[in-house]
Structure 1
Amino acid sequence: MHYKALTAVSLTALILGAGAAAADTWRYAFEEAMEEVQGKYAQKFKEEVEANSDHEVQLFPFGTLGESADIMEQAQSGILQFVDQSPGFTGALIPEAQVFFVPYLLPADQDQLVSFFRNSKAIHELFPPLYAEQGLELLTMFPEGEVMMTTTEAVASPEDLNEVKFRVMTNPLLVESYKAFGATPTPLPWGEVYGALQTGIIQGQENPAFFIESTKMYEVTDHLTRAGHNNFTTAVMANKEFFDGLSDEDKTVIQNATAAAFDYIIEYQTGLTEESVEKIQAAKPEMTVTTLTEEQRAPFKATAEAVEAKFLEIGGSQAQAILDQMKADLAAAAGG
């Protein structure tokens, strides 16, 4: 465990939490702030669990228990009962989860996207055994919003990313994707990104608009580019030993809370992207916001095949099955 990364406050919270476990207190950590998408989902999950059981859910937003690697280790060891983490950080642990970083694989159409996440056999049937092998019960995955690039220089083509040190999550396929885009991918923990942009160690990063706005990434970059290459995906998991040891009644409470929170967070995101872009422009009027045309996107889209091939090479033993099923699920979501 990376206890050195924990603050005195978070260590105290863990100690208190451990004592409260006998009183049916469940601990849930996530990678964002309370008022960001994962935090809103977690609050709805907590509300549903507490309304329908005698359990209490204790929430730990980003930073209170360390970085993403720390909360994953804590979830696997049973210190945490629940964790929300993007496949961007679990890609090394569960290689098949890197499929979500094949560019232009997920649809831009919101209705198709939601249908995919709600009904995907890859998510609901193929991924759970892979997570179980790592001591995790996969409860759900959900989209958080269109991924956008923020950079210190304008981007209209892969050539504009040449030699740009671009922060990516610690995910091998995302590294390959940005290499294919022409950038110099630089994996960094989230807590180091603002300072690295401020000091010029890196010159770009990607995230959904709400996160760019709430974390003020626009303060240390000058250009926001909508290349339409992805939608940020996250996964909610439980410690498997904890989950398997629950009564059927408690499992049902968790499953129902998961479903209710999924519906809530999809509704919550309606209009959130455009609202966040407007807030960014209001806070920094000189920030350019560029939506690439289909012609401009073409060379970025042309990299997808090579990145997909790399996924099949590094994406684990089930990579082909996962990719094939996802494509079938996406075709079904599109009505094909």
Structure 2
Amino acid sequence: MRSSALFTRTAIGALAFGLSTAAFADTWRYAHEEYEGDVQDVYAVAFKDYIEANSDHSLEIYRFGELGESDDIMEQAQSGILEFVNQSPGFSGAWLPPAQIFFVPYLLPTDEQTVLEFFEESKAINEMFPELYAEHDLELLNMYPEGEMVVTADEPITSPADFDNKKIRTMTNPLLSETYEAFGASPTPLPWGEVYGGLQTGVIDGQENPIFWIEGGKLYEVSPHLTFTGHGWFVTASMANQDFFEDLSDSEQQLIREASDAAYDHTMEHIQGLAEESLAKIREASDKVTVTRLTDEQIAAFKAQAPQVEKAYLEMTGKAGERLLEQFKADLQAVKAD
């Protein structure tokens, strides 16, 4: 599931060579964390289509493994080898602590339309996050949801007690580890390329991902018990190298903004109904899969653990996190009140 180290070094070298020999080339480079046809790829392709239809520029898309894993492509974007990158807060939270807000369990609702409206209207998303990313030399183009998180494990999960002694794979995100510790599990950070094998061999007992990712990666084959805990959404961010973006003309910056808006709108249409379609494919592919949707009473037992994770978030992020969380909650209240 991962490209070889040699291939990755060769690919990065080729990018660097192209950058140094053609600094004013019309070809831009965009890398993301997923495979062809996945949500981030749908966004990248729509972004590419708009750029190429409305300018002389072209866009090359690099998918998971072609230039390394998520941390690798972020380093390349920050160093200017890549013009554009997609990275989820699951990874960026390690160097941008406030972004871990998406791992405070039960902060976001499960209702899809409410979540979509929140991302459209939220001041925290559309005004505060761009300033936070700018501090790390990145121009935030869009933050957007991909799907509700679903837990897969070696047996159904219906209570925090069921997580006891379970090794649950997490991204390299401190707050996500706090969440699963609060739930009673043993969080186990692991690169994505090792997840299927880890589930197959028992190195880990479970993991969490949106349902389309579980279906596409065939995780249900080795982790067949799916639980909808309702605790959060997978969120990602599209961004540009800030020096690259600021050196562009006003018209080119506007082009990128418009391409981002077009890609966002297309992707938000794409994800509606995607979870149901992916679950139907999983059920069709395997008769060993079980699906557990927690009742309100069962969810309450998990929600009771959320305050300690929120407290940990505030301890990790200080005043910046406190301001962001306050605005985040206010934005959610405004959406729910509509």
CA distance in 1, matches of 2:36, 2:317: 32
Q: Deviations over 1:180-233 (max 9, x none)?
A: 011000011111111111111000000000000001111111200001111110
CA distance in 2, matches of 1:6, 1:70: 13
Give the partner amino acid of 1:296. Q
The answer to whether the 8 Å contact 2:152/2:224 transfers is yes
Corresponding residue SS for 2:24: helix
Kindly state the Cα deviation for residue 119 of structure 1 after the two structures are TM-superposed.
1.3
The runs of 5 or more residues in structure 2 that have no matched partner are: none
Corresponding residue SS for 1:14: helix
Q: Deviations over 1:142-183 (max 9, x none)?
A: 000010001012211110010100000100000000000110
The answer to whether the 8 Å contact 1:17/1:27 transfers is no
Kindly state the Cα deviation for residue 315 of structure 1 after the two structures are TM-superposed.
2.1
Query: 2:81 matched to 1:41?
Result: no
Q: How many residues align?
A: 334
TM-score by length of 1: 0.96
What's the counterpart of residue 76 of structure 1? 78
Corresponding residue SS for 1:153: coil
2:227 to 212, 225, 238: 225
Same amino acid, percent of matched pairs: 56
Map 1:25-174 to 2 at 5 A: 25-174=27-176
TM-aligned CA distance change 1:104 to 1:5, over 3 Å? farther
What's the counterpart of residue 307 of structure 1? 309
What's the counterpart of residue 251 of structure 1? 253
Give the partner amino acid of 2:91. F
Give the partner amino acid of 1:25. T
Q: Deviations over 1:100-151 (max 9, x none)?
A: 1001111111121111111111111111121111111111100000100010
Give the partner amino acid of 2:191. P
The answer to whether the 8 Å contact 1:5/1:66 transfers is no
Corresponding residue SS for 1:32: coil
Kindly state the Cα deviation for residue 17 of structure 1 after the two structures are TM-superposed.
4.2
CA distance in 1, matches of 2:61, 2:17: 13
Kindly state the Cα deviation for residue 304 of structure 1 after the two structures are TM-superposed.
1.2
TM-score by length of 2: 0.95
Corresponding residue SS for 2:278: helix
The answer to whether the 8 Å contact 2:16/2:81 transfers is no
TM-aligned CA distance change 1:97 to 1:258, over 3 Å? same
CA distance in 2, matches of 1:245, 1:198: 48
What's the counterpart of residue 201 of structure 2? 199
The runs of 5 or more residues in structure 1 that have no matched partner are: none
CA distance in 1, matches of 2:248, 2:327: 31
CA distance in 2, matches of 1:245, 1:228: 43
Give the partner amino acid of 2:235. T
